[in-house]
Amino acid sequence: MGWHYRKSIKVGPFRIHLSRHGVGHSFGNRRFHVSTTPDGRRHLTLRLPGGFHLSKSLGGRGHRHYRY
């Protein structure tokens, strides 16, 4: 059984995320925000009225999984 930890600290429009994987951060508001994960991946999210949202991964270090 694994263990999990997550804590968020809000500093103005910035949010710092602490977890057992490292430190991530995000910037924005309820409609639009950009976040960076502890491993360097970046995500852009846009929330639209009616419950719709768009999400896009931007650059950063992505993980590649290969199967042989």
Tokens 């650059």 belong to residue: 59
pLDDT value at 66 more than 70: no
pLDDT tens digits, one per residue of 2-45:
778 889 999 988 999 999 889 999 999 889 989 998 888 999 99
Look-up: residue for tokens 């502890």?
38
DSSP letters, the chain, are: -----EEEEEETTEEEEEETTEEEEEEE-SSEEEEE-TTS-EEEEEE-TTS-EEEEEESS--------
Strands 6-11 and 42-47, how do they pair? Answer: unpaired
Task: Look at the pTM and tell me if it is higher than 0.85.
Answer: no
Residue 63, pLDDT score = 54
